[in-house]
Amino acid sequence: MKSTAYLALAVATVFLCTAFLWMGTARAGTLLPDAPQFLDSGTVMKPNVVLNPNPVVDGKVIRLGDLFENVGKNSHVVVAPAPTLGRKAIYDAKWLTTIARSHNLSWKPMGAYDHAVVERASQTILFSDIKAALLAAIAKEKDGKSFEIELDNRNLKFHVPVTADVRLSVNNLVIDDRMGRFTATIITPDAKSERATGRIYEVAKIPVLRHQVKPGETIAKGDINWIKARSRDVQDNTLTRPEQIVGMTPRRWFRPGIPLRDGDLRRPVMIKKNASVRILLKVPNMTISMKGRAEEEGSLGDTVRIMNTKSQRVIDAIILNSNTVQVPADGSGNPAAQQAWAR
């Protein structure tokens, strides 16, 4: 019985001590972290002023509320001009302390290196956008001719307000065809202007191989792709028409996408060397046919050396198809010479 009584007394003592401890903490004013804090007089405590180290402003001025948080009704007070569009301004601890004191803010820097970097919000009109606007303006003066441009200032760009229209205007365009140059004035939606200069290059479309074609394979229309090249860089012997390529075969391997030149292609071999052929010899009122052997390979329309296998004589003949050649008319116009060869 005594043991049970002692245990009950110990539990009651612990409960009472815990209750008194909680009441003492509550009287001291310590509440949950999320609850509002009150002074003894009953007034609400002001939250701490906190520095905003990287504010972004979209107007022409910097306000107190841009630099500091929890400044209350003073947040709209102007303290400095904003940097230009797309630029940044750095304010050090000394300047920030002066601003805080002049507006009775309870803020002090943590150290001498505290600072705020203020950025002016903007849209960026990139070099590619400027080039596109110039291309469109120059195209109106070029009557459908293909061309490309190269600006002297490759770092040209604009910063405009975030709400501004990003379309550009091109004024005062002057094209010097003899020198291949142009000048123009680029105007932004917020009326900023910049002079742009550069070169104009006429462009030619060149047919090239879309993929590798083996020597001996016939090039088809589907094997051709088109590339653009500056006209001044196109050599006189460059093949510029598809009919110069289709139906031909490469003399060697060529990398796809490079211009082809005279001598790079040939007609596909129709008769190989040592192949048996039928020789046609036309004379007045008759055509003589005989057997022969090609002494060299050739393509359709080529003149190759053919041996008459009966007489062992060799003469030039024109390839008509894969197994037929024709002896051309004798240069002297004497059919007897041709007939003599046919024997």
> What's the CATH code of the domain at 288?
2.30.30.760
The verdict on 278 and 324 lying in the same domain is: yes
The verdict on 143 and 191 lying in the same domain is: yes
- For residues 250 and 267, is the Cβ–Cβ distance under 8 A? no
- Summarised one tens digit per residue, pLDDT across range 66-119 is 999 999 999 999 999 999 988 999 999 999 999 999 999 999 999 989 999 999
Give the pLDDT of residue 143: 82
Range of lowest pLDDT (89-93, 161-165, 258-262, 265-269)? 161-165
The verdict on 37 and 60 lying in the same domain is: no
The verdict on 297 and 336 lying in the same domain is: yes
Give the pLDDT of residue 2: 45
Q: Is the pLDDT at 320 greater than 60, yes or no?
A: yes
Query: pLDDT tier at 163 (50, 70, 90 boundaries)?
Result: confident
Q: Is the pLDDT at 342 greater than 70, yes or no?
A: no
Average pLDDT, the chain: 84
In this structure, what are the phi and psi dihedrals at residue 340, rounded to the nearest 5 degrees?
Answer: -65, -40
339 vs 222, which has greater pLDDT?
A: 222
Give the pLDDT of residue 56: 96
Give the pLDDT of residue 339: 54
| CATH code of the domain in which 55 resides | 2.60.480
Q: What is the pTM of this model?
A: 0.56
Range of lowest pLDDT (158-167, 176-185, 264-273)? 158-167
Q: Which of 75, 90, 121 is the last residue of a domain?
A: 121
Domain that holds residue 69: 50-121
Q: Is the pLDDT at 20 greater than 60, yes or no?
A: no
- Summarised one tens digit per residue, pLDDT across range 275-299 is 999 999 888 888 889 999 999 998 8
Q: Which of 91, 121, 151 is the last residue of a domain?
A: 121
| CATH code of the domain in which 260 resides | 3.90.1210.10
Q: Which of 121, 150, 179 is the last residue of a domain?
A: 121
- Summarised one tens digit per residue, pLDDT across range 298-313 is 888 889 999 999 889 9
- Joined tokens for residue 318: 């024109």
Look at the chain and report how many structural domains it folds into. Answer: 5
